[in-house]
Structure 1
Amino acid sequence: MTFDWQYIVNVLPHYQTALWITVKLASIGILFAVLVGITCSVIQYFKIKMLTKIVKVYLEIARNTPLLIQLFFLYYGLPKVGITLSEELCGIIGLTFLGGGYMAEVFRAGFEAVSKSQIETGKAIGLSNLQLMRYVIIPQAFSYSVPGFGANCIFLIKETSIFSGIAILELTNTTKNLMGIFYKTNEALFMLVIGYLIILLPLILFLTWLERRVRHAEFGN
């Protein structure tokens, strides 16, 4: 079976558009997931009354329900009660909801890894909780959180393939559509793999470099 390179040239604009959509939605979703994760981990770390219970319920739902179910609820369920969201907004909210649960666990573990003696020292010199977070806890927790944070970023980018369930034309859905039209399975899957490599390979290299830098800053080797 020959490989049709002319077909790849012809459909390349479709993959360029799909690649941009995938990167855009993943980037926005990860950004908001990080913000949600940090907020939840801070609430858990300081054991803020009432909010801690709400966070626990959210984390259980976020981590124990598939992204596809969450997207179906947003895209098909909410219109039943008069709330209609665009496909891309549903994708961003779903990725944020799912990712926030996983990011919260990573950051919480990072906070708890900070030495208690340093926190007590900070309190002894009169630092407030906000100052402790800014000057003592967050800088150190960041170095502990980098590996898990990187793994979650890669996981969430790959989860964008689920967006095909609500007709977002990201890489996977574009590939499925082109396969159905032209029956060029090998070529379409080849372009799908290349598309994800373009996104993930630079990210993996950057995260590897970042992890080495923070480890060097902490341990000196």
Structure 2
Amino acid sequence: MNWEIVNQALPFFAKGFELTLWLSLIGIVGSIIVGAIVSLIEYFKIPVLSQFFKGYVELARNTPLLIQLFFLYYAFPAFGIKLSAEASGIIGLIFLGAAYMAEGFMGGFNGVSKSQIDNGLALGMNNFQLARYVVFPQGLSLSVPALSANVIFLIKETSIFSVIAIPELTNTALDLIGMYYHSNEYLLMLVVAYAIILIPVILFLNLLERKVRNAQFGN
């Protein structure tokens, strides 16, 4: 292990680290927002839209992110839509992530007691009010474990962005290996960089799950 090589590569990995964090943040936030909307539409079985989004969830979950990125980056220009590599990566991550987030939300929403829904209807609430005051607040706490797993999954999926030449961590490591052939040093730096991102995220999400569980069950 040559630590001088590691030191020389640090600026390149720092840029890749920053880009990976940024893309992950946008992708995760976008996935949560879109996933919540999709899940509520499916939960309340809104005509036409619920069938459309059900098809979208199945399509997104059953096709690899790699293929989705290829389609966005290489196929869209044929239809007159040219996206940058970073835009393709973000859209692809949200497209995939929102489907998983929607399923996570649905699991939580389905855990809301039917009596709570019936009480809301008895009070004259419409679907929007039920979603805002009954289904979403209670379902969100039940969804935390699934959403946490999806967050970790999406951060790791950013490594696929290397196939469309986004200079995130994995692409940085592969480029440096291709130029200088110091595989051990660069792969070690790649592993450490992802650990620096993922370990604090995992610890935070575990703490969040415990807080939510304690709030629900008081233990």
Task: Work out the CA distance in 1 between the residues paired with 2:49 and 2:126.
Answer: 20
Task: Work out the CA distance in 2 between the residues paired with 1:36 and 1:89.
Answer: 17
Task: Work out the CA distance in 1 between the residues paired with 2:8 and 2:96.
Answer: 36
Q: State how many pairs are aligned.
A: 219
| TM-score normalised by the chain length of structure 2 | 0.98
Task: Work out the CA distance in 1 between the residues paired with 2:83 and 2:142.
Answer: 37
Deviation at 1:182, TM superposition (A): 1.3
| Residue of 89, 94, 102 corresponding to 2:87 | 89
Deviation at 1:171, TM superposition (A): 0.6
**Structure 1, unaligned runs of 5 or more:** none
Residue 51 (structure 1) aligns with:
49
Task: Work out the CA distance in 2 between the residues paired with 1:136 and 1:59.
Answer: 24
2:172 partner SS: helix
| Residue of 174, 193, 196 corresponding to 1:195 | 193
Deviation at 1:127, TM superposition (A): 2.5
1:12 matched to 2:10? The reply is yes
| Residue of 205, 209, 212 corresponding to 2:210 | 212
Task: Work out the CA distance in 1 between the residues paired with 2:58 and 2:128.
Answer: 27
Task: Work out the CA distance in 2 between the residues paired with 1:50 and 1:137.
Answer: 21
Task: Work out the CA distance in 1 between the residues paired with 2:16 and 2:199.
Answer: 17
Task: Work out the CA distance in 1 between the residues paired with 2:126 and 2:52.
Answer: 25
Q: CA RMSD in A?
A: 0.9
Task: Work out the CA distance in 2 between the residues paired with 1:56 and 1:126.
Answer: 28
Residue 148 (structure 1) aligns with:
146
| TM-score normalised by the chain length of structure 1 | 0.97
Task: Work out the CA distance in 1 between the residues paired with 2:167 and 2:75.
Answer: 21
Task: Work out the CA distance in 1 between the residues paired with 2:178 and 2:15.
Answer: 18
1:175 partner SS: helix
Task: Work out the CA distance in 2 between the residues paired with 1:8 and 1:62.
Answer: 38
Deviation at 1:131, TM superposition (A): 2.0
What is the CA deviation profile of residues 168-202 of structure 1, one whole-angstrom value per residue up to 9, with x for unaligned ones?
A: 01111100111111111111011001110111011
Residue 133 (structure 2) aligns with:
135
Kindly provide the amino acid, as one letter, of the partner of residue 107 in structure 1: F
Deviation at 1:135, TM superposition (A): 1.8
Task: Work out the CA distance in 2 between the residues paired with 1:50 and 1:130.
Answer: 17
Kindly provide the amino acid, as one letter, of the partner of residue 100 in structure 2: Y
Kindly provide the amino acid, as one letter, of the partner of residue 181 in structure 2: Y
Task: Work out the CA distance in 2 between the residues paired with 1:146 and 1:184.
Answer: 41
- Comparing 128-137 with 11-20, greater Cα deviation is found at 128-137
Task: Work out the CA distance in 2 between the residues paired with 1:149 and 1:84.
Answer: 32
Q: How does 1:19-34 map to 2 (within 5 A)?
A: 19-34=17-32
Kindly provide the amino acid, as one letter, of the partner of residue 117 in structure 1: S
| Residue of 44, 55, 68 corresponding to 1:70 | 68
Deviation at 1:138, TM superposition (A): 1.3
2:81 partner SS: coil
Task: Work out the CA distance in 2 between the residues paired with 1:56 and 1:115.
Answer: 23
Runs of 4+ aligned residues of structure 1 deviating over 4 Å after TM superposition are: none
What is the CA deviation profile of residues 25-44 of structure 1, one whole-angstrom value per residue up to 9, with x for unaligned ones?
A: 11101111111111111111
Task: Work out the CA distance in 1 between the residues paired with 2:210 and 2:131.
Answer: 23
Provide the identity percentage.
57
Task: Work out the CA distance in 1 between the residues paired with 2:125 and 2:57.
Answer: 30
Deviation at 1:80, TM superposition (A): 1.3
